[in-house]
Structure 1
Amino acid sequence: MNQLNMLKKMTDVVIDTGDIELIKKYCPQDATTNPSLILNSLNSPFYKRIINNAIKHVINKNMSYEDKIINASDKLIVNVGLEILKIIKGKVSTEIDARLSFNTDMSVKRARNIISLYEDSNISRSRVLIKLAATWEGIQAAKILREEKIKCNLTLLFSFAQAKACAQSKVFLISPFVGRVYDWYLYKKLIKKDISYSDPGVLFIKKIYNFYKKHNYKTIIMGASFRNVNQILSLAGCDKLTISPVLFEELKNKNFEVIKKLKNKYKNKNHKKPSFISESMFRYEHNEDAMAVEKLSEGIRQFSMDQIKLEKFLISNFN
């Protein structure tokens, strides 16, 4: 049995791509998308049809040009999600415009629009996760959406403060970024390349995992943004892991034994939950983590730029 199949026996495996053919190839339980992943696939023949559909959805509507761009963009990412849901059995994560990362009300509004587009195509909201940046405002948006039975995936998560706030707000799922944590420490020359026993990204996930299990938080942990197979295998047993197609293939081609590394040692034990983290405490604790501050800001900027590129691409196809 290859490592990918062994891993699937202890962890839900998710594919991190917008490439439909690769999703068909690997048959994951769930899939995640974002503007960056969609941009990488736009030139494929498959995307031409769903791009035209997104433009047709808004072109004759009585709305401002700006609203047409926003709605065409939402329709495009939903169209991608719809195609993915034809293949997978589980859920697809669909990302909110990162430029709204510090606006709770607008994040909620866009999430509702995306869910309505899915439901117009007869897809239950239970099969969609709305991806939001794990800012304070994003976490508050997730709390509001939870009351409407809209589940969220809080992404760009780099600090323990973010993880605590998400758990206490009963967020459905978080995506801590293993590889980007590793990148920061490597760039700062605080670690050596290709370490395994003390990889800071791996240790970050383990810390969150033990904290959640100890205090019986139900929020799902989905490790993301891996740089190598060793990082993945070091987190075997995590609730979920979202993996790029390149690393999927590497796991598929190896037959070495996979050992479960994360185990819930707190099962059936009652531990008092810690005090609720306030907004001021959240901001202070997050600010104390230089890596988290830098990587969250960088991630929001990157996703925002890719969202703008996506919109420009749609505009170029309007006429």
Structure 2
Amino acid sequence: MASQLDQLKQFTTVVADTGDFLQLAAYAPRDATTNPSLILKAVKQPAYAPLLAQTVGAHRGQPLAALVDRVLVRFGCEILKVVPGRVSTEVDARLSFDTAATIARAQRLVQMYESEGIGRERVLIKMAATWEGIQAAKALEHLGIHCNLTLLFSFSQAVACGEAGVTLISPFVGRIYDWHKKQAGAAWDEAAQAGANDPGVASVTRIWRYFRKFGIDTEVMGASFRNTGQIVALAGCDLLTISPELLGQLQQSEAPLRRALDEVDAKACDARAVSYNEASFRFAMNEDAMAGDKLAEGIRLFAADTRALDALIQAA
């Protein structure tokens, strides 16, 4: 019997959610995603100390922000030696509310990749799905720079990204689940909230069905999983980015796995087309306590890990 990981690959493009490129080959993902937290975790490992020192040494004297980007790109280049597809590299989260600065940083990252012989078709630039981030992505897509909008927790964020022509979005299944579980407290029923009823799974399912029904080309990549049950419940989603730990669990299991998201069902769903301008987007986010809370928290956490990465690079 094929492993659950191999079964999943029949329906969904599997992406590795890690900066630890030494682990990647075992799971044969097509793409890989990184973020400041994952890169910080990787550079703290002794195996990556020479890479960090070499990269910083080769570009010493450049501004700190440029050195950080050099390290991110170096990890991305190493990842692309292992995966056949794309790597996602994130813009500094501290620029999440600055459209012009996000565009400039994204262009610099792509130029750094191109200087290493990596074509822009193999790079996705990640940024938070704030209004400013979405507008930056819209401009970048027109320039041929493909984007991955992250820290995405709401239907309004997803629709705005689709309208902007973003290449890919990463709705965060696990963090949505975390918020609802915390809000419910002792009343939370894990069994009743599993599978398709998991609030994170339900959010991604709604977005994926809406995009398929209305012919929106933006790829949907479920992210931030807490257990393999959430992954199995989204089999058939365009892509799923999965941590090495959960990839390992899927690889070790031979339990049957079936397609959960079906395009025929999606096109028959009763969703109605909606559209957002800046005012209606901001109001929708204000009305969605979960999305507002988790977006703000996510930016704070990524910014904190970026500052920690800054300190490591300065000390290298």
C-alpha contact 2:125 2:147 (8 A) present in aligned 1: yes
Equivalent position of 1:243 in the other structure: 242
CA distance in 1, matches of 2:4, 2:271: 38
Equivalent position of 1:19 in the other structure: 20
CA distance in 2, matches of 1:79, 1:96: 14
C-alpha contact 1:139 1:165 (8 A) present in aligned 2: yes
Superposition pairs of residues 244-263 of structure 1, within 5 angstroms: 244-263=243-262
Superposition pairs of residues 66-81 of structure 1, within 5 angstroms: 68-81=63-76
- What RMSD, in angstroms, separates the aligned Cα atoms of the two structures? 1.7
C-alpha contact 1:215 1:272 (8 A) present in aligned 2: no
CA distance in 2, matches of 1:273, 1:167: 15
CA distance in 2, matches of 1:243, 1:163: 20
CA distance in 2, matches of 1:128, 1:211: 26
CA distance in 2, matches of 1:234, 1:267: 15
**2:214 aligned with 1:219:** no
CA distance in 2, matches of 1:278, 1:266: 29
TM-score by length of 1: 0.93
SS in 2 for 1:192: coil
Q: 1:192 aligns with which of 184, 189, 194?
A: 189
TM-score by length of 2: 0.94
Equivalent position of 2:280 in the other structure: 281
SS in 2 for 1:28: coil
Say which structure is richer in helix.
2
CA distance in 1, matches of 2:197, 2:274: 29
Equivalent position of 1:33 in the other structure: 34
Equivalent position of 2:55 in the other structure: 54
CA distance in 1, matches of 2:109, 2:244: 26
Gaps of 5+ in 2: none
Letter in 2 for 1:41: A
SS in 2 for 1:187: helix
Gaps of 5+ in 1: 62-67
Change (3 A) 1:57 1:111: farther
Change (3 A) 1:275 1:227: closer
Identity rate, percent: 45
CA distance in 2, matches of 1:276, 1:47: 45
CA offsets 1:70-126 (integer angstroms, 9 cap, x no match): 010000000000000001100000011000000000000100110000000000000
CA distance in 2, matches of 1:100, 1:310: 16
